Amino acid sequence: MSQTANCDENLLAAAYLNRVAEPAAIALWLLVREHGYRQAAAMVRAAEVPPEVAACTEARRDTTDPHADLAAAERNGIRLLTPASPDWPHFALGAMDRLARRRCAEWLTGRRARAAAGELIPPLALWVRGNGQLASIGIRSISMVGSRSATAYGDLVASDFAYALARREVTVISGGAYGIDAAAHRGALAADGACVLVSAGGLDRPYPSGHAGLYDRTAEAGLLVSERPPGSAPQRQRFLSRNRLIAAFGTATLVVEAGLRSGALNTARHARDLGRPVLAVPGSITSAMSVGCHRLLQRDEQPAQLVTTVTEVLSYCGGEVALPDAAPRTLYDALDLAARTVLDAFPAAGTADPGQLSRLSGLPLEGVRDALAALQQLGLVAETAGGFRLDRAGLRGP
Amino acid sequence: MSQTANCDENLLAAAYLNRVAEPAAIALWLLVREHGYRQAAAMVRAAEVPPEVAACTEARRDTTDPHADLAAAERNGIRLLTPASPDWPHFALGAMDRLARRRCAEWLTGRRARAAAGELIPPLALWVRGNGQLASIGIRSISMVGSRSATAYGDLVASDFAYALARREVTVISGGAYGIDAAAHRGALAADGACVLVSAGGLDRPYPSGHAGLYDRTAEAGLLVSERPPGSAPQRQRFLSRNRLIAAFGTATLVVEAGLRSGALNTARHARDLGRPVLAVPGSITSAMSVGCHRLLQRDEQPAQLVTTVTEVLSYCGGEVALPDAAPRTLYDALDLAARTVLDAFPAAGTADPGQLSRLSGLPLEGVRDALAALQQLGLVAETAGGFRLDRAGLRGP
């Protein structure tokens, strides 16, 4: 069943509200919180809204066509998520939601400037494309960010770390740009790991256009995410609002290389505001691309954590797991001690009965019987008329 | 008057005690504290000392010849300093003295192990060679330490920083070894700045021998310092005890590059124990020579300060000063506003009287008179029969 056929009024309302204002519109978010998607959309359309909502919606009030957006999305394999969707990233966005409520309360009571309150407003809806899922994002994920004009050092570190982290079941998130972003995506893809690309524009408009292939491969192995509807251009302000999603999706945010004015520092600030660890890779003091990282590490308040190894990064985004390589290579490695002892006690050829195996192994008869039952279940021994027979073929690794 | 001709009993006692035990002998230091140099030396010679003093002195008790040491020192341009010498580094060693007293008290009352108490015992005497002085060391000085097998990056940073710091009147201290030490010394020497080389062995035995020229140049421009008497070999333990002097002499200690087992980390620990700032230069995470620096920066307790510029280093070792280049280039730059205004008001040729100058400059007559007096003192105007006359030649820079 296609999404447009299924699209209920809520989805249409979400698509409408998602386009009618630019992301992180504080007044619109408050309206939706109070009245829900359908009511809020109807109020905006009827221009029956407070002046602050009118100000951020009237330019597109009458031209926004959610049917067209949903149809364009369907043509491009893109679907729309709202907080009612099973795949909505509630876990990852929880911190932003709490922060937005607190900051809005401070703004409404005059204790905070509006601009400072509006920066970390949760998205009303998200467009996604690909096979990955978002529901558990943030539990074991890393946002890797950095300079577009990365050095060979930054590229190497980003792709190496992304590869090693993806191999350890950490979802790698980045923004799809040249430089550090691309290196991070490529490392995760090379590891066949989970990866998420958060785009500033519509998902049918890869940016930069040279990354169309990267977008396609990420959609296949992971997920593309954007707050903007299909067809949207990646405008400057959308990069800044996009960065808050990257910060929110990562269990931690890792800045690999950043110049003094890099957008990665904006992402790092969002992560800090959301209470997420900010990690930074040090580099040569002679490299302009490490100046931003060093500034983060030198902060008096809430400095970034200096990381030099994958193990250190892991300690901030979910911890170490056994690599496939470190897992049992053969079934034998996975057996308990009693089963191994019984297996080793089998004669080189022929059959044996439990009594013999007990004498040969030194295990009590009851222990031998339990071990034989387990070994039988695994297909390593078979019971025949003459007793138990070993099937060593089953022990070889895959 | 030569030192041997002048050597009183105190100097002989200090030379004796300085050689009879290896540096940082806690029991001997306590004996000297209680009885003074002459009495303590007489007690050691007569073997009338507590068992712990006997243990660290009996091996050399009868063979130590302070006359020979002082004679060898004189032949090599080396002199002996004791706390009674005007050039003794009381300022720099104050923290070590206080720490040693506290730790000894803890050791004697069973609250601290002897080894842990004895590490930072002040020197009983110091051998020095060269034109520099030690009395004010530690007020505006930097101890630069690091790996002997430094990379090109470390060498560059060490020599650049040492040069820039020495130009800003910061005394550069290091250990005379290959790698970071040598780069630091060379940078300071290139700047014609103050520099101190603290050697582990006797000052007549440059170590490494390839650094004989570096020793000579440092003696000329600055100072060589060693706790060990002439002829002493640079044994391993002496490097470790030498490191405590390097840590004590620096207002801050800067680790430029260090492997995981670098002696520079030992110096950094001493500096931390002495309450001195420890600074570290970050580097590539792929460089084994930066691992030690990154470890210092990652410490949970009292992490090192990450520094990337000379200005940051300066903020920990005495602050910025105006460079010769930044100082007034002409006398005019150094004048106050009133004097400049009067100067500018002078007619292009001829003389002017205070009344004219007051009208031309807009300053009150009294202010003009004060400014003229100041300008006269500086030789910029002269009083003649016809009034005041300008001497523009005096305004040109040197």
Phi, psi of B192 (to 5 degrees): 55, 35
Which carries the bigger pLDDT value, residue A149 or residue A337? A149
Question: Which tokens belong to B302?
Answer: 């009292």
Question: Which tokens belong to B59?
Answer: 């091996």
Region class of A34: left (phi > 0), else alpha (psi between -120 and 50), else beta: alpha
State the average pLDDT over residues B216-230.
Answer: 97
Phi, psi of B205 (to 5 degrees): -125, 75
**What secondary structure does DSSP assign to A213-231, as a single string?**
HHHHHHHHHSEEEESSPTT
SS3 A65: coil
CB A118 within 8 Å of CB A30: no
According to DSSP, the β-strands at B171-174 and A126-130 are: unpaired
Q: Closest chain B residue to A293 measured between Cα atoms?
A: B282
Candidate ranges A6-10, A117-121, B391-395; pick with highest mean pLDDT: A117-121
Lowest-pLDDT choice from A49-53, A120-124, B63-67, B358-362: B358-362
pLDDT at B115 over 80: no
Question: CA–CA distance from A387 to each of A149, A345, A346, A352, A383 (Å)?
Answer: 71, 14, 11, 5, 6
Q: What is the pLDDT of residues B132-156, one digit of tens each?
A: 999 999 999 999 999 999 999 999 9
The pLDDT of residue A21: 92
Q: What is the reported pTM? A: 0.78
Q: Do B282 and A298 touch (CB under 8 A)?
A: no
**How many other CB atoms sit within 10 Å of the CB of residue A29?**
24
State the average pLDDT over residues A137-164.
Answer: 96
Q: How far apart are CA B298 and CA B197, in angstroms?
A: 29
Q: Under 8 Å CB-to-CB from B315, ≥6 apart: which residues?
A: none
The pLDDT of residue B114: 80
Q: How far apart are CA A255 and CA A261, in angstroms?
A: 13
Q: How far apart are CA A310 and CA A164, in angstroms?
A: 7
Residues of A in contact with B298 (CB under 8 A): 305-306, 308, 312
Q: How confident is the model at residue A1 (pLDDT cuts 50, 70, 90)?
A: very low
Closest residue by Cα to residue A268 from A293, A286, A231: A293
State the average pLDDT over residues B11-23.
Answer: 94
pLDDT at A111 over 90: no
SS3 A348: coil
Which carries the bigger pLDDT value, residue B81 or residue A358? B81
Give the bridge partners for A130, in sequence order: A223
Angle (CA) A52-A229-A136 rounded to 5° is: 95
Q: Any CB–CB contact under 8 A between B240 and chain A?
A: no
Q: Any CB–CB contact under 8 A between A39 and chain B?
A: no
Q: Any CB–CB contact under 8 A between B164 and chain A?
A: no
State the average pLDDT over residues B362-388.
Answer: 88
Lowest-pLDDT choice from A367-371, B182-186, B361-365: B361-365
Q: Do B153 and A283 touch (CB under 8 A)?
A: no
Question: What is the 8-class DSSP label of residue A77?
Answer: T
Tell me the nearest-neighbour CA distance from A35 into chain B, angstroms.
48
State the average pLDDT over residues B105-119.
Answer: 84
pLDDT at B1 over 70: no
The pLDDT of residue A272: 97
Q: Closest chain A residue to B298 measured between Cα atoms?
A: A306
User: Which of B156, B285, B306 is the closest to A308 by Cβ?
Assistant: B285
* Beta strand extents in chain B (DSSP E only): 78-81, 126-130, 141-145, 171-174, 195-199, 223-226, 252-255, 278-280, 305-306, 351-352, 381-384, 387-390
- Torsion sign across C-alpha atoms B239, B243, B245, B249: positive
The pLDDT of residue B4: 46
- Torsion sign across C-alpha atoms A83, A84, A86, A87: negative
**CA-based R_g, chain A, Å:** 27
Q: Considering chain A, what percentage of its residues have pLDDT values greater than 70?
A: 94
Residues of A in contact with B153 (CB under 8 A): 284, 286
- The DSSP H or E segment spanning A265 is helix A263-273
CB A179 within 8 Å of CB A262: no
Predicted-complex ipTM score? 0.74
The dihedral over CA atoms of A97, A98, A100, A102, expressed in degrees to the nearest 10, equals: 160
The pLDDT of residue A378: 81
State the average pLDDT over residues B294-310.
Answer: 97
Residues of A in contact with B157 (CB under 8 A): 285-286
Q: What is the pLDDT of residues A279-334, one digit of tens each?
A: 999 999 999 999 999 999 999 999 999 999 999 999 999 888 766 555 545 677 67
Q: How far apart are CA B36 and CA B13, in angstroms?
A: 9
B interface test, pick of A298, A308, A315, A316 with most B CB neighbours within 10 Å: A308
Residues of B in contact with A291 (CB under 8 A): 308
CB A173 within 8 Å of CB A139: no
Residues of A in contact with B294 (CB under 8 A): 282, 306, 308
Q: How confident is the model at residue B2 (pLDDT cuts 50, 70, 90)?
A: very low
Q: How far apart are CA B115 and CA B117, in angstroms?
A: 5
Q: How far apart are CA A38 and CA B151, in angstroms?
A: 65
Q: Closest chain B residue to A257 measured between Cα atoms?
A: B284
Tell me the nearest-neighbour CA distance from B269 into chain A, angstroms.
20
The pLDDT of residue B335: 80
Mean per-residue pLDDT over chain B, rounded: 91
Q: How far apart are CA A252 and CA A319, in angstroms?
A: 12
Judged on CB neighbours under 10 Å (0-12, 13-18, 19+), A22 is: middle
pLDDT at A18 over 80: yes
Q: What is the pLDDT of residues A245-267, one digit of tens each?
A: 999 999 999 999 999 999 999 99
Q: How confident is the model at residue B275 (pLDDT cuts 50, 70, 90)?
A: very high
The pLDDT of residue B3: 47
Q: What is the pLDDT of residues B35-45, one digit of tens each?
A: 999 999 999 99
Q: What is the pLDDT of residues A207-217, one digit of tens each?
A: 999 999 999 99
Report how many Cβ contacts below 8 Å link chain A to chain B. Answer: 55
Phi, psi of A31 (to 5 degrees): -60, -45
Q: How far apart are CA A158 and CA A187, in angstroms?
A: 7
pLDDT at A203 over 90: yes
Angle (CA) A272-B284-B195 rounded to 5° is: 105
pLDDT at B80 over 70: yes
Q: Any CB–CB contact under 8 A between B255 and chain A?
A: no
